[in-house]
Each structure stands twice: as structure tokens, then as C-alpha cells.
Amino acid sequence: MQHISTVAIVDDDDGVRNSLASLIRSLGYEARSYGSAPQFLADREKGDPDCMIADIQMPEMSGDELQAVLVAAGRRFPMIFMTAFPTAPVRERVMAAGACAFLDKPAEPDTIAHHLAAALAHGRT
């Protein structure tokens, strides 16, 4: 039986989350949606996703803070970050910590699909 890759979407914007989930399912992957970083962290029973796409600007905990918590806990899987407010320091921080991509919002579906395929091909580190 073929493994279907699971992609976690962590974004506080319902519209972004729903459109990303639709795109991911249309690409043949399973999508899991979370409205916040703490919500993602609380969902331990499903195991780690094969890849995560997360927003940077979120209330409670930012995407880069989420990445730091996951890395510190030894939870390593490909991560793609998206933000409407890109800054060089945040880009450098998430990429240095192992992110696969740092995309500006709104990102084109083809761009997301390209980075997602590359991240999944790279696999777990």
C-alpha cells in the first residue's frame, strides 16, 4: 500500500487554511488543518506530518517560535513558511533552523506545489 504524505497547515486565517487544504488534497496529499501553533502542538496522537506549511504572523505563537519549539523537542520534518510580512531576519532565522522554503503571501499554487514536492522528496532529516 502506498504511503500518502500528510501535510499539516498551521495558519490563523480560515480562508488561507481552507484554500491550502484544498490545494494539498488536489495534489494527492492528506491535509490536516490547525488554527494556531498551540493547536498543532496539542495534537500528539496523529504523529508528526510529513511536511508542515505554517504562517509566520499568528497570535499566541508565531511560526518561527513554533519551529524553535519543534526543533528543540527533536521533532524534525520539512517545514515551509509563508507570510504577508516578510523580513530578512525572520527569513534568515527559519532557513538557518532548517526550513525548506520561506514564501511571501499570497503564494501562487504552482509555487506552493513546487516547494511542497521538493520538501517531501527531501524527506525527514
Domain ranges for the chain, please list them: 6-114
List, in order, residues 6 or more apart from 22 with CB less than 8 Å away: none
Whether 73 shows a pLDDT value over 80: the answer reads: yes
Q: Report the alpha-carbon distance of residue 35 to residue 51 in Å, rounded.
A: 16
> Is omega for the bond preceding 106 within 30 degrees of 0, making it cis?
yes
Whether 2 shows a pLDDT value over 80: the answer reads: no
3-state DSSP assignment of residue 69: helix
pLDDT value of position 123: 65
What CATH class is the domain 6-114? alpha beta
The 10s digit of each residue's pLDDT in 32-72 is: 999 999 999 999 888 999 999 999 999 999 999 999 999 99
Long-range own/partner contacts, residues 17-22 (CB < 8 A, 24 or more apart): 20/53, 20/112
Whether 26 shows a pLDDT value over 60: the answer reads: yes
Q: What confidence tier does 122 reach under pLDDT thresholds 50, 70, 90? A: confident
